[in-house]
Amino acid sequence: MAGFSIKQLRYFEALALHGHFGHAAEASAISQPALSVQIKDLEQSMGMQLFERSARQVRLTPFGEAFATRVREILHRVDALDDFARAAQGRLTGRFRLGVIPTIAPYLLPRLIGNLGKSHPRLDLHVRETLTPRLVQELLQGRIDTAIVALPVSEPSLFEMPLFKENFVLVRPEKDAGKPAPRASELREMRLLLLEEGHCFRDQALNFCNAPSAVPRDGLDGSSLSTLVQMVGAGIGVTMIPEMAMGVETRSAQVNCVAFDDPQPGRTIGLVWRASNPLAEAFEEIGEVVRQSESAATTG
Amino acid sequence: MAGFSIKQLRYFEALALHGHFGHAAEASAISQPALSVQIKDLEQSMGMQLFERSARQVRLTPFGEAFATRVREILHRVDALDDFARAAQGRLTGRFRLGVIPTIAPYLLPRLIGNLGKSHPRLDLHVRETLTPRLVQELLQGRIDTAIVALPVSEPSLFEMPLFKENFVLVRPEKDAGKPAPRASELREMRLLLLEEGHCFRDQALNFCNAPSAVPRDGLDGSSLSTLVQMVGAGIGVTMIPEMAMGVETRSAQVNCVAFDDPQPGRTIGLVWRASNPLAEAFEEIGEVVRQSESAATTG
DNA sequence: TAAAAATACTCCATAGGTATTTTAT
DNA sequence: ATAAAATACCTATGGAGTATTTTTA
């Protein structure tokens, strides 16, 4: 195993440059004997003489010259590594793997990606869209860095940063426009179309109706909010969607949206990451960007 | 200035590989706390966290991953440097600059170059042909590594390795063939053609005639042995050349060569180098090759 | 509770300083 | 005689060990 140190290589480089122990030592901010010893040790660990000493001259041996070019190459990379670390200081760098649940992704990501590109131009963003349980699992395995999900996830090793609260709105056939918003109890009597099993949004909606354990009913479950809205437009029933989805999903369908009376149903969306992840500060910045992207998406 | 050590980089690499302080420490042949401390120090000197620690997992941070690829690159080069030194062990490597005096060069070099190519295939041989004083000067300045000259050079900082003794022979017009070899005193009476001022061979020849201070005589000095021999062939006078030059120089001229009676005139040829040069051993090997090249040249 | 990393401390190797000697010009 | 490198010796920093505590799953 190589027994020399970076320090020794630096001293070597200085001596090769100055050709004089005294001057090289001064340039290296150590004493001349210290330099002598280090050079001698380096030569010993190499098993080769690097310098030819005479009373007035210190010269590289031919081997020393070949050695010097390699040493310079190494020191150059060492310095570059140092610079690299200094440049990355505190900033989020390299690959950033973000998970997002399906009932958020299509409405938030377009703006979020744009905003992240501006705020963190060096970021290599990877997006994973899947259901909360899988996101949590991938977080714990270190396969993604953070995830945007509905809080709480209540996983002890995950840290949760609340971002915003989003309300749910009722989506009903266009002919119902003008009618008052139904209350939870009334909603239970209507044909409520829901996302299929597994989506947290399904549970959140059912929860509002005080029917948390509703079983799947054939033909009344959709695999996306988009599908549900289309079904409502076709007169099959009513559904609930997050505010954020309104703009995109109800534009092309013959449906009417109405907010519920207080207390409005809704959920808290947040950013989660492993509590052990040292990049908390950077993630909070990311969370801030997500928050801005949401408010723009809802307002606009 | 980069404050980390090669050791720390090795520990880092081990931990990145094993993802476990205990195992990485074992692989690095140090204790777990020692590894912990070194990694912590490395992170501190980088100002960035390299690993994310949780109770069951040690993972590289995104920055740590980018760091790792650079570290591996550096360690690879460090190992290569070590291998390079180990491979060069004792051997002469790289550029080898050899000076040769003009009265030796043309006769010795053809064989010497061939032989050196066989015995030291990695050698990058540079040959400098010039007069002794300049060779000595260039040796002292470190512009050449060794020189083949007539001994002694009597320069205190130069080491002299005697290689072989070469005798001088008389070159006279072909019509003189059969006559006995002249003695030194007789030679002084003949028109002796010599090399121009500066060649050591001129002084060595004059020395034999006991006329060390002979002044230049217009038209009787030549700039090369070849010229002198041609002049002899033209009947202008006689000259002396080293044995080794006989084969080449007298082949095409109408001249006769004869050895002198004992004590024969001659000179000792040797290899010289700076006494401070640590490659003495290697140079003695080179000298041995020169010696072999000479005997082959004289015999053949 | 168990496994793993961090901390506390102690020790020793060694890098580096000062004073001096050796060497070569 | 002088300039420069090597050596001797001492000190102090810090790398590494053992024992222990803290943390988290």
How far is residue B25's CA from residue B31's CA, in Å, rounded to a whole number?
6
pLDDT at B33: 93
Could you read off the pLDDT of B91-114 as tens digits, one per residue?
777 788 899 999 999 999 999 999
**What tokens does B13 get?**
């690499």
Distance from CA of B81 to the nearest CA of A (A): 7
Taking the Cβ of residue A207 and every Cβ of chain B, the question of whether any pair is shorter than 8 Å is answered with no
Distance from CA of A82 to the nearest CA of B (A): 6
Q: With bands split at pLDDT 50, 70 and 90, how would you rate the model's confidence at A221?
A: confident
pLDDT at A195: 92
Chain B 1..40 CB hits on strand D (< 7 A): 5, 7, 29-31, 33-34, 37-38
**What tokens does B161 get?**
């390795």
How far is residue A265's CA from residue A184's CA, in Å, rounded to a whole number?
9
| pTM recorded for the entire structure | 0.73
Q: Is the pLDDT of residue A275 over 90?
A: no
Query: What is the CATH T-level fold of the domain B95-164+268-299, as seen in this structure?
Result: D-Maltodextrin-Binding Protein; domain 2 (3.40.190)
**What tokens does B126 get?**
């540079």
Instruction: Give the best residue of A48, A60, A65, A70 to mutate against chain B (max B CB count within 10 A).
Output: A48
Could you read off the pLDDT of B128-153 as tens digits, one per residue?
999 999 999 888 877 888 999 999 99
Query: Given an 8 Å threshold on Cβ–Cβ distance, is B67 in contact with A86?
Result: no
Question: Residue A28 CA to C16 C1' — how many Å?
Answer: 12
pLDDT at A282: 83
Query: Given an 8 Å threshold on Cβ–Cβ distance, is B94 in contact with A279?
Result: no
Q: Which residues in chain A are contacts of B79 at CB distance < 8 A? A: 2
Tell me which of 3.40.1190.20, 3.40.50.720, 3.40.190.10, 3.40.50.2300 is the CATH number of domain A95-164+267-299. 3.40.190.10
Compute and round to an integer the Cα radius of gyration of chain B: 32
Query: Given an 8 Å threshold on Cβ–Cβ distance, is B63 in contact with A94?
Result: yes
**What tokens does A167 get?**
């309300």
Q: Give domain B6-88's CATH architecture.
A: Orthogonal Bundle (1.10)
pLDDT at B142: 78
More confident residue, A140 or A1: A140
Neighbours of B186 (CB within 10 A): 11
Q: Is the pLDDT of residue B215 over 70?
A: no
Taking the Cβ of residue A63 and every Cβ of chain B, the question of whether any pair is shorter than 8 Å is answered with yes
Please, what is the average pLDDT of chain B? 87
Distance from CA of B126 to the nearest CA of A (A): 13
Q: What angle do CA A216, A219, A223 make, to 5 degrees?
A: 75
pLDDT at A131: 93
Q: With bands split at pLDDT 50, 70 and 90, how would you rate the model's confidence at A56?
A: confident
Residue B97's nearest CA partner among A61, A232, A272, A86 is A61
List CB contacts of A234: < 8 A, sequence separation 6 or more: none
Q: Could you identify the residue whose CA is nearest to the C1' atom of nucleotide C23?
A: A55
Verify if strand C has an atom below 7 Å from the CB of A56: yes
Mean pLDDT of A89-93: 70
Chain B 273..292 CB hits on strand C (< 7 A): 276
On the question of a cis peptide bond just before residue A106, with omega within 30 degrees of 0, the verdict is: no
Q: Which residues in chain B are contacts of A64 at CB distance < 8 A? A: none
From A74, A96, A276, residue closest to B53, measured CB to CB: A276
Residue of A nearest to B73 (CA): A77
Q: Is the pLDDT of residue A253 over 90?
A: no
**What tokens does B283 get?**
């140079």
Q: With bands split at pLDDT 50, 70 and 90, how would you rate the model's confidence at B123?
A: confident
Q: Is the pLDDT of residue B156 over 90?
A: no
How far is residue B42's CA from residue A174's CA, in Å, rounded to a whole number?
65
- 3-class secondary-structure state, position A111: helix
Distance from CA of A11 to the nearest CA of B (A): 13
Taking the Cβ of residue A5 and every Cβ of chain B, the question of whether any pair is shorter than 8 Å is answered with yes
pLDDT at B171: 94
From B47, B66, B82, residue closest to A2, measured CB to CB: B82
Could you read off the pLDDT of B272-298 as tens digits, one per residue?
998 878 778 888 899 999 999 988 766
A214: burial class by Cβ within 10 Å (0-12, 13-18, 19+)?
Answer: middle
Verify if strand C has an atom below 7 Å from the CB of A33: yes
Residue A58's nearest CA partner among A41, A74, A76, A35 is A35
Q: With bands split at pLDDT 50, 70 and 90, how would you rate the model's confidence at B90?
A: low
Instruction: Report the percent of chain B where pLDDT is more than 70.
Output: 95
Nearest nt by C1' to A156 Cα:
D25
Domain ranges for chain A: 6-88, 95-164+267-299, 167-259
Mean pLDDT of A248-264: 88
pLDDT at A214: 61
Q: Which residues in chain B are contacts of A142 at CB distance < 8 A? A: 52, 57, 59
Verify if strand C has an atom below 7 Å from the CB of A1: no
pLDDT at B108: 93
Put simply, the chain A residues between 153 and 182 with a CB less than 8 A from any chain B CB are 157
Residue whose pair of structure tokens reads 């002044």 in the numeric block: B215
Instruction: Give the best residue of B52, B53, B126 to mutate against chain A (max A CB count within 10 A).
Output: B52
From B62, B74, B89, residue closest to A94, measured CB to CB: B62
pLDDT at A172: 94
Instruction: Report the percent of chain A where pLDDT is more than 70.
Output: 94
Strands (E), A102-145: 124-129
How far is residue B241's CA from residue B226's CA, in Å, rounded to a whole number?
9
pLDDT at A215: 59
> Up-side HSE of residue B125: CA atoms within 13 Å toward CB?
20
Query: What is the CATH T-level fold of the domain A167-259, as seen in this structure?
Result: D-Maltodextrin-Binding Protein; domain 2 (3.40.190)
List CB contacts of A6: < 8 A, sequence separation 6 or more: A75, A78, B2, B4, B5, B6
Residue B276's nearest CA partner among B119, B106, B115, B159 is B159
Question: Residue B35 CA to D16 C1' — how many Å?
Answer: 9
Distance from CA of B240 to the nearest CA of A (A): 39
Verify if strand C has an atom below 7 Å from the CB of A55: yes
Instruction: Report the percent of chain B where pLDDT is more than 90.
Output: 41
Q: What angle do CA A257, A259, A263 make, to 5 degrees?
A: 155
CB of B100 closer than 8 Å to CB of B108: yes
Query: Given an 8 Å threshold on Cβ–Cβ distance, is B73 in contact with A74?
Result: no
More confident residue, B212 or A8: A8
Nearest nt by C1' to A57 Cα:
D4
Taking the Cβ of residue A142 and every Cβ of chain B, the question of whether any pair is shorter than 8 Å is answered with yes
Query: Given an 8 Å threshold on Cβ–Cβ distance, is A61 in contact with B157?
Result: no
Q: With bands split at pLDDT 50, 70 and 90, how would you rate the model's confidence at B219?
A: low
Distance from CA of A230 to the nearest CA of B (A): 42
Strands (E), A143-265: 146-151, 158-173, 192-195, 221-222, 238-242, 255-259
Taking the Cβ of residue A86 and every Cβ of chain B, the question of whether any pair is shorter than 8 Å is answered with yes
Q: With bands split at pLDDT 50, 70 and 90, how would you rate the model's confidence at A150?
A: very high
pLDDT at A2: 67
Q: Do A6-88 and A95-164+267-299 share a fold?
A: no
Q: Is the pLDDT of residue B36 over 80?
A: yes
From A1, A6, A73, residue closest to B77, measured CB to CB: A73
- What A280-288 contacts at long range (C-beta under 8 Å, 24+ apart), as own/partner pairs, is A280/A159, A281/A90, A282/A90, A282/A91, A282/A92, A283/A92, A283/A145, A283/A146, A283/A161, A284/A161, A285/A92, A285/A119, A285/A120, A286/A92, A286/A96, A286/A98, A286/A116, A286/A120, A286/A146, A287/A161, A287/A163
Taking the Cβ of residue B29 and every Cβ of chain A, the question of whether any pair is shorter than 8 Å is answered with no
